[in-house]
Structures are given as C-alpha cells and as structure tokens.
Amino acid sequence: MTNEPAIVLENVVLDFPVTKTGPAFLKEVFTGRMGKRRKDKYYRAVNQVNLEIKQGEVFGIIGPNGAGKSTLLRMMAGIYAPDKGSLKVRGRVSLLAGLGAGFQRNLTGRENISLSGSIYGISKDQLHQLIPSIIVFSGIGDFIDQPLRTYSSGMRARLAFSIASHLSPEVLLIDEVLAVGDSAFREKSKNKIMEMVKGEATVVIVSHNAAILREICDRVVCLDRGKISLLSSDVNAVIQRYRDLSEQR
C-alpha cells in the first residue's frame, strides 16, 4: 500500500428518481406538477460522501440493506455519474457484480468468453492469450464448444467467474460474489480472489460477511442511508456499528 490515492470521492451525491408510470405519470404531466419539489421526486441514495482510498488498499463497505453500498460501488465503476461532487479514479476499473455480463444462451462457451471478455474491456490480443487459461480454470472441459443453454447453472457461474478472475484491473470492485459453483470450485475461486486482493490492485469490497472483511480489509466503512456512519481501520468497531444499525431497523 502506498500513500497515493486511487479513488477520491468529494461530496458525492446521487439522487435516484422516484419513477411514476402510467396514469400517475400522465397526471403529473397534465397537472403541471413536474417541476415541484425535488425532494418528492427523488430519493438520495448517496449523500455527501467523502472518501479517499489509497493505492493497493483493500477497502470494505458494509451496511444495512438500502444503505447505498452497491450504488456507491457502481458509481466507482462509472455506471452512475454523480449528481454533485466529484469522483476521481486512477487506472482501469472492473466491477464484479452479477457475473457473466452479456452472456447469450445460444452462443457456445468459447464465443461467450470472447463476447463477455470484450464487454469487460479485455483487448482482443490479450483475450486471445487468456482464452486457454480461462477454459482450464473454469473446468468446463469439452462443454466449452456447446451452447450455453446446455450448461448447468453451476457451470455457467464457473465460466463467468473464470472470465472475471482473468481481468487485471488497477481497481477491482467486488460485490459479494465469493460463492459460486460446487464446494471444490468455491475453494478455488476464494483462493483466486484472495490472490487478486493481495496483489497490486486496489480492492473495494461490499460484503455482509464479517469474517471475510476482518480477514482481508485494511479499512472498512459502514454506510447508513447513503451517509458514512463510521469509517475506521478498526474493523471490529465498524462491524459492531453495522450490527447496532441493523438491530435498530
């Protein structure tokens, strides 16, 4: 870990629209209530968050449901742009959330590797080199040239995880994907994640699993209703705060 920042958030705010559809939406249009109070039309998912995550740091995010953990992670990945404040990141970012982006059930495993890999931003040449290793790691064997719909859900998850584990980003964002496949593969994938976590990359991980956070994180933040409730390198204190908050609900 160095002292150089990898992710810097300054007063980041994200508002989600409260969507009205059908008659309610029409009513809003025709009664001219569109431009009324901002508070009624949006809820604040991320509220004035300031964070500085250092290069090589393993940073945990915990919090009750609806605290804005996943939203914050998606903002770091660039999926949502902040409404206010600034968000700066160094280097390439990969988000591991809901694996298997872009999978097509009628394409073969091999075709899906190319497609999904390029969606995750792996270049063509790199992908060409990585494909054998992705196939070996997934343990799918001869099925790789069969269409994805013939796979069991476990095989699909293994293929997806195998692709994700071959990304080599500078910043890795993980949203609770530590358990896929059968027990042997789960062990293998956990080791692989640990390998990635302990490597050069900066890691931000969202999890409810206290044991994992205790084991790998340098610092943990507890979010509550979009705000930072507690940020500390004392992981146990943060986890205690999370438990207190959950019980209050």
Partner 1 sequence: MDKASAVMELNPTPPFYKAPFHMYSNLKKNKSLLKNLVSRDFKVTYYGHALGYFWSLLEPLALTAIFFLVFVILRGEADTLLPLKIMIGILIFTTFSKTLSSCTSCLVTNSSLIQQVYFPREIFPTAISGFRLVNLCLSTLIIFPYMLYEGLPLTKHMILLPMSMIFSIMMAQGLGMMTAAIQVRVRDTKQVIDLILRAAFFLSGVFFGAEHIPPEHLDTFLLNPIAVFIEMARAAVLGDMSLLTWGQILRSISLAVIAFIIGSMIFVKSERKAVKFL
Which residue ranges make up the site for partner 1 (CB under 8 A)?
4-8, 16-17, 19, 21, 25, 74, 76-81, 86-91, 93, 95, 97-98, 101-102, 104, 106-107, 111, 114-115, 118-121, 123-124, 170
Q: How far is the CB of 182 from partner 1 (least distance, A)?
A: 24
Q: Which is nearer to partner 1, 121 or 154 (CB)?
A: 121
In sequence order, which ranges of 8-152 are alpha helices (DSSP H)?
Answer: 22-30, 38-41, 69-77, 109-119, 124-138
Query: What is the 8-class DSSP label of residue 47?
Result: E
Q: Which is nearer to partner 1, 52 or 244 (CB)?
A: 52
Q: Which is nearer to partner 1, 128 or 237 (CB)?
A: 128
Q: How far is the CB of 241 from partner 1 (least distance, A)?
A: 28
Q: Which is nearer to partner 1, 178 or 194 (CB)?
A: 178
Q: How far is the CB of 88 from partner 1 (least distance, A)?
A: 4
Q: How far is the CB of 161 from partner 1 (least distance, A)?
A: 14
DSSP H/E element including 10: strand 5-17
Q: Which is nearer to partner 1, 6 or 196 (CB)?
A: 6
Q: How far is the CB of 165 from partner 1 (least distance, A)?
A: 15
Distance CA 239, CA 249 (A): 16
Phi, psi of 221 (to 5 degrees): -115, 140
Question: In b/e form, how buried is each residue of 42-75, taking b as 16+ CB within 10 angstroms?
Answer: eebbbbebebebbbbbbbbbbbbeebbbbbbbbb
Phi, psi of 199 (to 5 degrees): -75, -160
Q: How far is the CB of 16 from partner 1 (least distance, A)?
A: 6
Of the candidates 242, 246, 248, 195, which has an alpha carbon nearest to the alpha carbon of residue 60? 242
Distance CA 144, CA 139 (A): 9
